[in-house]
Amino acid sequence: MGGNTVSQFGLGFGVVTKAGEATTISQEGTYDWGGMFASHFWIDPKSKLAVVIMRNVWPSDSWDFGERMRAVVYQALEK
């Protein structure tokens, strides 16, 4: 599971397309989106996983909560 991946962005969300240089922990086919006030979601069809994080924080880039939460969720699944 996971490893380094590349996300391609289209209208509305990003899709993990292939292994590459990004630091996101995701599988190919995972798609995600981040909102202006730090809300975040991702869906991993291979793991049958959907995660929604609702926050209301500005500035939203003050802490990478979405990426940290993604790592915690995948670590919990591996156990």
What is the reported pTM?
0.69
Q: How confident is the model at residue 8, as a pLDDT?
A: 60
Look-up of token digits 């995972």: 30
Count: domains in the chain: 1
Residue-wise pLDDT tens digits, 10-32: 566 777 877 554 556 778 888 88
Rounded CA separation 72/74 (Å): 6
Rounded CA separation 58/21 (Å): 28
Query: What range defines the domain where residue 28 resides?
Result: 5-78
Per-residue pLDDT band for 2 (boundaries 50, 70, 90) equals: very low
Residue-wise pLDDT tens digits, 39-65: 888 899 988 999 998 888 787 666 677
